[in-house]
Amino acid sequence: MIFRRAALTSLSRPDPKGPLPDDAVLPEPQWFPDPGLCEASCFAASEGETEWFPAALIGSQAIARRLTGDATYVRRALDLMTTLTPDDYTSYMTRFYRDGLARFGDGWGFADIVTVLLALAETLRPKSYLEIGVRRGRSACAVAAAAPDCELALFDMWVANYAGMDNPGAAFVRDELKKVGHRGQAEFVDGNSHQTLPAYFARQPRKTFDIVTVDGDHTNLGAAQDIADVLPHVAVGGAIVFDDICHPKHPGLTDVWRRMVGESRRFSAWTYDDVGYGVGVAIRKA
């Protein structure tokens, strides 16, 4: 697969993590025909029957209503935090979830990457999941908890002291997955996603995933390239999740998400940016 990388230098001037310039050139995904279906979320016409609609039965707005209609997924996220090995972040999020529930109950409507993935995994019943940016495995465990037989492809550089906390590596994440009952295959791909993703898809150019999470490189250029690399490999009816879209230290990510996914006719996109650092969700329609 060939990607337009040479034209992207404008994204790194002057601040690769600052606001996205209006004239920034974004990478173009290399689409291919017949990407396959996420079976749990798609409708299949009978043999010889006209396909009047795109196959996807559910879009991002319906996912959002399921996610924020009550506090079900916040409570499930809280349960997940108490199941996994604690660190400073999980301790903080445990108190955050509990305080929000205590003050606002089912009307809180909070969403983050963990609640989103719990809702998506329950709804889409994924058979395959790809993640860029694994660290301690919380996001992967959210998917595995709801879809224990799901095949996982997990990409990370395992940067030491990431965000000021331990980044213990693949063996630790395997143990975390066991805690939530994961039974499927878990493949760990080590290295820079801008090299490992193209190499991975060069070996299997038509492989698709029911859910993809992009939570790795947070520069404008890096995030845009990760999105471009994975978008064609989201199955129809499947979902892509993009974290930290309103993080104050990464103001360009909102526009990267909007321009590459939110404005694409191939996707039904929803963005949560009410509180926290935000998260984007999109269901592939075509």
Over residues 202-244, the pLDDT tens digits come to: 999 999 999 999 999 999 999 999 999 999 999 999 999 999 9
The tens digit of pLDDT for each residue in 79-115 reads: 999 999 999 999 999 999 999 999 999 999 999 999 9
**pLDDT higher than threshold 60 for residue 11:** no
pLDDT band for position 2 (50/70/90)? very low
* Token pair listed for 135: 């660290």
The domain 32-44+52-60+110-284 belongs to what CATH superfamily? Vaccinia Virus protein VP39 (3.40.50.150)
- Burial classification of residue 156, based on how many CB atoms lie within 10 Å of its CB (0-12 exposed, 13-18 middle, 19 or more buried): buried
| pTM exceeds cut of 0.95 | no
